[in-house]
Structure 1
Amino acid sequence: MFHNLSHKVADFSTDLIIEDIGIITNISKGIVMVSGLSGVAVDELIQFSENLFGITFQLLHNEVGVIVLGNSDKLQVGNEVKRTGRITDVPVSEKLIGRVIDPLGRPLDGKPAVDDYKNFPIERDAPSIVDRIPVDVPLQTGIKVIDALIPIGRGQRELILGDRQTGKTAIAVDTIINQKNENVLCVYCTIGQRASSIAKVISRLEENGALDYTILVVTKGDDSPGLKYIAPYAATSIAEYFMRKGKDVLIVYDDLTQHALAYREISLLMRRPPGREAYPGDIFYIHSRLLERSTHLKQELGGGSLTALPIIETEAENISDYIPTNLISITDGQIYLSPKLFELGILPAVDIGKSVSRVGKAAQKFIYQSVVGDLKLAYSQFEELENFSRFGAKLDERTKQIIEHGQRIRMCLKQEESKPVSLQEQILILIALTEGLFDSIPLNKMKMAENIIKQRSKDLGELETVLLSEKLSERNRDKLVRLLKDNLQHLLMSK
């Protein structure tokens, strides 16, 4: 008996599991200080409990600052925490398409968690310069004023900014809706938005069939600052997974103002030195390293693209504020939404004079360039003369014509929400506009005139291929002008 026991003891072996365990020494809102994790790395995932994790943010001499990725109310000083040995990551998979998840990949739509996935770190190096190619393929938004005057290319970073409640989210959502037949996958990332606003966006996407090609990464206003901080990085890693597979991807960050506020809160609680407006010194870096990941890859790497539409909220029309100027300097242009235009009912409230695309015509279909002409200049002249005419000055006939034409431009660029305009429809409307076919149409019948042209675009016969070509010849342009003039003549006769 003793011999058998000695034999079993001699043969006994076990696999030792070494765990690095620390102790919580201090708790603040959304962050904790932990001692005892001597070998921990920056951005490493730390486990508090089965469903609560954190990310190491600040390494000090005797303790570590950890951002809690969830509700920290149940944590207490003295609780044990464990290292996971993993850099903070997010699950990526084709099965995420059509799902609503949080930044850690946990489902928020009541459906089961994705079981077949890979893990991508949320922090990834941006593609190097030699891995990129110029942005030259347009991303059609379906919004006339943007596609015609502020074109966006696949791989571009175009900032959307404006005061509260001016339609910033509406432009981003309409752009997603217009990708239905464009073979573009969309990722929509909400950062600290109200639950009601998120539900409204999801409802709009579902009504228009856009959820079939969209992934939503969601953080609400009452979520922890840590989740808000990692949300855009996690969403970008998901988007990069598909870009690396050769797909064109559109990502919307709604909005980076809340991201900056969450980062400032975390930094101040960590007692990091504050800078301008109490933001930490690296506030520019956290956004630049995020947006630099959007690009157009060369064909050897699949030829995929990642287009970014970051949203930023301004206060009192101040686009020269700290965070807006940071984002303007990082991105490739901006779409500015004016509260004054919004109040006048000019929607989308895009201020053409303050909006720009630094990629410009390089990412616009060539046919646009042959029909837009000097539309932007004509509209700018109209706005100046319209302001001048309000003083009651007597106007000559030429000035009156410019104002009348400008009013038609404004009416044509107006557009209802969730009603994208196809390429063919846009080209026909722009031809009619630049040729002055609308100038004799009363303003109260402009909507009817536009609808007539839209209806005509569905029955063009052989001319339909002309609108899809890269160049519009003078002969074909004259044909289209005569066709549109004949159709609008009936509306003039009913005047």
Structure 2
Amino acid sequence: MPKDNLTDAEKIIAEATQLTTENLKLPPQTIPATPTDSVSTRADSQTSFEVGYVTSTRNYLLLLNGLPTVRINEIIANKDGTRALVTGLQENLIESLLLDDAIVAPNEQFFKTGKQLGVEVGDHLLSRVINPLGLPIDGKMKFPTTNRTAETNKIATGIKSRQFIKTQFITGITTVDMLIPLAHGQRELVMGAARSGKTGFIIDLIVNQGKKSSVVSRQSSESLKADSEASLKTESSSQTIVIYALIGKPLTEIRRLVDILTVNHALEYTCVIAASSSDPASMVLVTPAVAFSVAEYFQSKGRDVLLILDDMGLHAKYYREISLLSNKAPGRESYPGDIFSIHAALVERAGKFKSEYGGGSITCLPVIETPSNDYASFIPTNLMAMTDGHLMFDYEIYHRGFRPAINVALSVSRVGRQTQSIVQKQLADHVKSILAQSKRLETLSRFGSEVSEETRQLLNQGTQIESILAQDNLVSMELPVQIILLGLIFTTFLTSKPADFLEINKSKIIEYLRTHVNLNDFLAKITPLTDEKQLAPLLEPLIPQLEKLTAASPEK
């Protein structure tokens, strides 16, 4: 048929057909694609010649027509190599987010790459800093090619893959290990206002994982030397792996945190996955899912993994921005209606797993910054509802100089207590009760009223407990040492001592316990005890030596 006799619609179809058959006569491998070391390949030669046209752009959001067989989470690219991630399929349009910082104009062509968003996983990721596409951004050597790629849109496994949580996650921080314990496989929210000590706590937590996972006495006795060497040989296999996801942080903050981990030799067992505030919003959006994929690789090898998502509040804000650009109906605080399910689907991937599912565990700590101790806003309450407890960091406690600035009264752990021994539970309940009473009586005593001897003793105990719980940054405390220190509060050793006694002598006592007490044996002795009162007889033999040690202490 002569071209002049065609209708306008027939002319458009003929031109599109000519472009497809003439301009795109390329072998599949020459179609512009993303780097092969950052995505998983699902090549499909039958769809290699599909093309889509950009109909409109909204900043980094693209709407395209065409690509009839494209799927969610697939990567598409134009002839310049600019990549986009397919995030939505409408009736006649495809919604995608740019993965590169580029300008795309309407009518530009995008092609299928046949690749799903994923990351190549392996032990080579440890001690490295990568972006959400799995590419190194730390200036070090390139990664070796591996045959294992983890996709990011994995659905959490069901309850049949889960194991009962019964192992305590030792943080080396007395307040957490004794009063608000964590467990391997638990999901615990870390929340608080800006500059309330959350980041310092996270750094301490990561650095402390580099210490021996099993408590080994520091005695110089030759009889323990062989056991210590055997413990060191197995340490590498029991080392907790840390995945630290930095979500939407400034580049300067990312560099600072990586430098701190490097100086403290914590990067050796850590993989940092960073999407900065200057990266495209799509990179920030997929960061938590990529972090979980990397964590699941190590978990499948039977390793215990600590996964930190910092900051999920920023992640929610980026998702809100993308949703508003997509014309999704806004809900409370303008967040989309599916924000809860997005976050819940992520944290559900954490847990303690059975051996047939790889064994190991993923302990997840989402972090969120709350405005001025306002814990009742939408996203914080959502995260509180989908986790197994929360650590509440208090701005006022932090600026009084107390570290860690955790508000014990407002913090909770719904799973960790079941991993503690009976004596630990009873001792923790006793300590928390005294702390609460001493806080109340301290307020009343400020009005100048006289206090009884019993009240004075209670206030004295409250001060001593706070001295024990106070812990400087980058200082780790063994679990048996924590139990002994808190147990001494209720023995004759401390009942007659002034309130500032522990503040002066705490470091001496700790060093003595580490060098002269077999901490492994002590922990083994208290585990089967069924009453807190049975702890005192085990501590009595230590008192004479501690009295001698502290007798020459100078008075304040």
Shift of 1:430: 1.8
Find 1:104's aligned residue among 133, 151, 157. 133
Distance in 2 between residues matched to 1:453 and 1:366, nearest whole Å: 25
Shift of 1:248: 0.8
> What secondary structure does 2:515 align onto?
coil
State the TM-score, normalized to the length of structure 2.
0.82
Is 2:81 the partner of 1:25? no
Is 2:510 the partner of 1:454? yes
Q: Which residue of 1 aligns with 2:257?
A: 201
Find 1:139's aligned residue among 150, 163, 169. 169
Is 2:219 the partner of 1:219? no
CA contact 2:526–2:535 (8 Å) conserved in 1:
no
Q: Which residue of 2 aligns with 1:375?
A: 431
Long gaps (5+) in structure 1: 1-13
Distance in 1 between residues matched to 2:492 and 2:288, nearest whole Å: 45
Q: After alignment, is 201-210 or 269-278 more displaced?
A: 201-210
Find 2:154's aligned residue among 111, 119, 124. 124
Shift of 1:390: 2.9
Report the AA paired with residue 101 of structure 1: I
Structure 1 residues 470 and 215: CA distance shift in structure 2, 3 A? farther
Distance in 2 between residues matched to 1:44 and 1:433, nearest whole Å: 60
**Residue deviations 1:276-334 (CA, integer Å, cap 9, x gap):** 00000001011000000001111222321100011011112111110010000000000
Distance in 2 between residues matched to 1:295 and 1:149, nearest whole Å: 22
State the TM-score, normalized to the length of structure 1.
0.91
Shift of 1:440: 4.5
Distance in 1 between residues matched to 2:263 and 2:280, nearest whole Å: 30
Shift of 1:370: 6.1
CA contact 1:35–1:62 (8 Å) conserved in 2:
yes
Find 1:85's aligned residue among 104, 114, 130. 114
Distance in 2 between residues matched to 1:51 and 1:15, nearest whole Å: 16
Alignment of 1:88-487 (within 5 A): 88-117=117-146, 118-180=148-210, 181-182=212-213, 183-365=239-421, 368-369=424-425, 371-372=427-428, 374-435=430-491, 437-461=493-517, 464-469=520-525, 471=527, 477-484=536-543, 486-487=545-546
Distance in 1 between residues matched to 2:486 and 2:78, nearest whole Å: 59
CA contact 1:156–1:332 (8 Å) conserved in 2:
yes
Structure 1 residues 62 and 463: CA distance shift in structure 2, 3 A? closer
Distance in 2 between residues matched to 1:151 and 1:122, nearest whole Å: 30
Distance in 2 between residues matched to 1:367 and 1:50, nearest whole Å: 65
Shift of 1:262: 0.6
CA contact 2:460–2:499 (8 Å) conserved in 1:
no
Is 2:114 the partner of 1:58? no
Report the AA paired with residue 384 of structure 1: R
Structure 1 residues 365 and 417: CA distance shift in structure 2, 3 A? farther
CA contact 1:367–1:471 (8 Å) conserved in 2:
yes
Distance in 1 between residues matched to 2:488 and 2:79, nearest whole Å: 65
Distance in 2 between residues matched to 1:436 and 1:21, nearest whole Å: 81
Structure 1 residues 88 and 169: CA distance shift in structure 2, 3 A? same
Shift of 1:479: 4.4
> What secondary structure does 2:169 align onto?
coil
Q: Which residue of 2 aligns with 1:8?
A: none
Report the AA paired with residue 319 of structure 2: Y
Shift of 1:221: 1.6
CA contact 1:93–1:116 (8 Å) conserved in 2:
no
Structure 1 residues 434 and 214: CA distance shift in structure 2, 3 A? farther
Distance in 2 between residues matched to 1:28 and 1:135, nearest whole Å: 46
Shift of 1:52: 3.7
> What secondary structure does 2:245 align onto?
strand
Distance in 1 between residues matched to 2:174 and 2:403, nearest whole Å: 11
Shift of 1:60: 1.8
Shift of 1:472: 6.5
Distance in 2 between residues matched to 1:50 and 1:136, nearest whole Å: 53
**Residue deviations 1:115-160 (CA, integer Å, cap 9, x gap):** 2322111011111011111111111011100000011000000000
> What percent identity do the matched residue pairs reach?
32
Report the AA paired with residue 272 of structure 1: K
Shift of 1:489: 4.8
CA contact 1:172–1:309 (8 Å) conserved in 2:
no
**Residue deviations 1:61-92 (CA, integer Å, cap 9, x gap):** 222111112313x3222322111222221111
Report the AA paired with residue 158 of structure 2: S
- Give the paired residue count: 481
CA contact 2:186–2:416 (8 Å) conserved in 1:
no
Structure 1 residues 90 and 49: CA distance shift in structure 2, 3 A? farther
Shift of 1:269: 0.6
Distance in 2 between residues matched to 1:365 and 1:194, nearest whole Å: 42
Distance in 2 between residues matched to 1:309 and 1:343, nearest whole Å: 24
CA contact 2:187–2:347 (8 Å) conserved in 1:
yes
Q: After alignment, is 378-387 or 456-465 more displaced?
A: 456-465
Distance in 2 between residues matched to 1:274 and 1:462, nearest whole Å: 60
CA contact 1:152–1:364 (8 Å) conserved in 2:
no
Distance in 1 between residues matched to 2:61 and 2:436, nearest whole Å: 50
Q: Which residue of 2 aligns with 1:9?
A: none
**Residue deviations 1:151-201 (CA, integer Å, cap 9, x gap):** 100000000000011111222221111111332111000001122222222
**Residue deviations 1:37-79 (CA, integer Å, cap 9, x gap):** 222212222224665422111222222111112313x322232
Shift of 1:35: 1.7
Structure 1 residues 476 and 23: CA distance shift in structure 2, 3 A? same
Q: Which residue of 2 aligns with 1:11?
A: none
Structure 1 residues 407 and 274: CA distance shift in structure 2, 3 A? same
* CA RMSD between the two structures: 2.2
Structure 1 residues 469 and 68: CA distance shift in structure 2, 3 A? farther
Long gaps (5+) in structure 2: 1-25, 29-44, 214-238
Q: Which residue of 1 aligns with 2:104?
A: 75
CA contact 2:168–2:416 (8 Å) conserved in 1:
no
Distance in 1 between residues matched to 2:423 and 2:82, nearest whole Å: 54
Structure 1 residues 342 and 48: CA distance shift in structure 2, 3 A? farther
Structure 1 residues 391 and 84: CA distance shift in structure 2, 3 A? farther
Report the AA paired with residue 546 of structure 2: N
CA contact 1:466–1:472 (8 Å) conserved in 2:
no
Distance in 1 between residues matched to 2:455 and 2:535, nearest whole Å: 31
Report the AA paired with residue 255 of structure 1: D
